[in-house]
Structure 1
Amino acid sequence: MTASPPQGRVRAWLSPPRPADVAMADGRDRRLLVTEILVVATVTLGLSGLRSLVSLLDSLAGPAPLASRQVSIDRPLATDAWVDLAAQLASSLQLVAWGGLGLYLLLRAGSGPRAVGLDGTRPGRDVLASLGLAALIGIPGLGFYLVTRALGINLTVVPSVLDDHWWRVPVLVLSALANSWAEEVLVVGWLLTVLRRLGLSENRSLVVSALLRGSYHLYQGFGGGLGNVIMGLVFGRYWQRTGRLWPLVGAHALIDVVAFVGSALLAGKVSFLPH
């Protein structure tokens, strides 16, 4: 019996076929791609994942329970305000460069921005998709964080503890944009493209991408890691089915802007926000 259209759509989302136009790598090219993954991961988000794991192990080794320990995302990097501003901008520049590296490697491989959905052909639909994905991930994500913190498997996460300088909000917005650009280009656009060329199925590639995303959030605790794995599964599948990366960058940026700026402006004024 032929599957009904709704069943077919569900099956396509759960187990999508690999695109037919993907150039499969073999021999020397395959070895070079594996080396590329290892090198890029080591100098970017893979190393962040290792550091996050070490941070989590350190938290677990301490006498205090996880929920009573606090970790911040955006924090002062220098005592002088101007030096701190320069350090914050340098940190965001590093993230922009990480995303640029992923895009450059795609270009060298014969792909490019259009191939991963970083073009301007459908701005209105991309904006609407960004808003929808931000709501889909951000609203349940806040509840998931509160539950895991109450269960004692997550640290208390303070998105921003930057001092109240005139540049605080612009820097937090820039940090959110830089984080979203680096993560979505590397973990979705670049990594999933390379894994396709290595012959991994769409589902296996998706799991690898999601686990990498979760790994560099482990410094927040088990809840932070698991929550970002779920986010990675949703975001990665969306890209695999639509080929659009801008909605992921936009949704991620919106989630981070709300978290970073909201934490800075509302800490101490809203009961459930840590400060």
Structure 2
Amino acid sequence: MIEGTLADRRRLVTETLLVLGVSLGASAIWSLLSLLRKLTAPTPLAQQTTAMNTSRAPQRPWLDLAYQLADILLPLVPVLLALFLLAQHLPRPHQVMGLDLTRPAHDILMGLGLAAVIGLPGLALYLGARELGFNTTISAAGLPSIWWGVPVLVLAAIGNAVLEEVVMVGYLFTRWAQAGWSTAAIIVTSALVRGSYHLYQGFGGFIGNIAMGLILGVVYARTKRVMPLVIAHTVLDVVAFVGYALVAPHVSWL
């Protein structure tokens, strides 16, 4: 359904700004502030470390687990909000954006292919940006060695993928198209927002995630299926989080 009047289009854009304001748009603001803090610190950017998935209550593992699960589940509320808002105009919006299990083999194969296309160049970009002084060192997994560590990292990867791909692609692409935006404008704007909430990592993370957003945006524009994007993003984050936890203690270049 395409909204016809100027007032309707403005309302849809305002709605997207509000959804972003309680989710990834807010993350973009915090990310920018984090980058500014790091750039103005005495230590050069490349010598700083950005810690992710860290312990919240190190000496109390069950409380720490509760914190980790809350950190994963609460950011999914904007996903439900986005689907709820879309449902005001679209019956079964999850099916409209391809967030379903109707094509599992296709979605898995495409997701794995996208993960490979994005992941290897992304790692090279990160290492290059860090060597050039444009990025921090990313410590992707700072959880203690405990039985729930790896499952929580996997859940965090799934949560990140669902949040980002449903909101940044499925929801925003639908709403901005209804507001009359061109496909090119939608893809570029979504990619820029995606890059902006990764600025806390440095400029390498910013550029890398813009590139990722452009690739995923083009794929979604052609397929109208967000599920392969969720799978690709999940695979990338699982490799980053769990792989870092397993490999980082044994190598120096990460």
Q: By the TM > 0.5 criterion, same fold?
A: yes
Say whether residues 1:196 and 2:177 are aligned partners.
yes
Q: Which residue of 2 aligns with 1:51?
A: 30
Q: Which of 65, 76, 79 is matched with 1:96 structurally?
A: 76
CA distance in 2, matches of 1:77, 1:168: 13
Alignment of 1:96-115 (within 5 A): 96-111=76-91, 112-115=93-96
Spell out, residue by residue over 1:36-76, the C-alpha distance to the aligned partner (whole angstroms, 9 max, x if none): 11211111100000000000000000111111000012111
TM-score by length of 2: 0.96
Say whether residues 1:248 and 2:229 are aligned partners.
yes
Q: Runs of 4+ in structure 1 displaced over 4 angstroms?
A: none
Q: Which residue of 2 aligns with 1:32?
A: 11
Bigger CA radius of gyration: 1
Say whether residues 1:123 and 2:104 are aligned partners.
yes
Q: Which of 140, 153, 159 is matched with 1:172 structurally?
A: 153
| 1:270 Cα deviation from its structure 2 partner | 2.3
My pick for the range that moved more, 114-123 or 164-173, is 114-123
- Partner SS for 1:157: strand
- Partner SS for 1:74: coil
Write the letter of the residue equivalent to 1:90. Answer: A
Does structure 1 conserve the Cα–Cα contact (< 8 Å) formed by 2:49 and 2:139?
yes
Unaligned runs of 5+ in 1: 1-21
Q: Which residue of 2 aligns with 1:74?
A: 53
CA distance in 2, matches of 1:38, 1:118: 22
Say whether residues 1:140 and 2:121 are aligned partners.
yes
Spell out, residue by residue over 1:102-135, the C-alpha distance to the aligned partner (whole angstroms, 9 max, x if none): 2222222215111101122211111100100000
- Partner SS for 1:110: coil
CA distance in 2, matches of 1:241, 1:105: 24
My pick for the range that moved more, 25-34 or 84-93, is 25-34
Write the letter of the residue equivalent to 2:169. Answer: V
CA distance in 1, matches of 2:244, 2:34: 22
CA distance in 2, matches of 1:52, 1:178: 19
CA distance in 2, matches of 1:232, 1:160: 23
Write the letter of the residue equivalent to 2:112. Answer: L
Unaligned runs of 5+ in 2: none
CA distance in 2, matches of 1:219, 1:109: 36
My pick for the range that moved more, 179-188 or 96-105, is 96-105
Alignment of 1:148-167 (within 5 A): 148-167=129-148
Alignment of 1:192-271 (within 5 A): 192-271=173-252
Q: Which residue of 2 aligns with 1:61?
A: 40
CA distance in 2, matches of 1:128, 1:157: 28
CA distance in 1, matches of 2:11, 2:33: 29
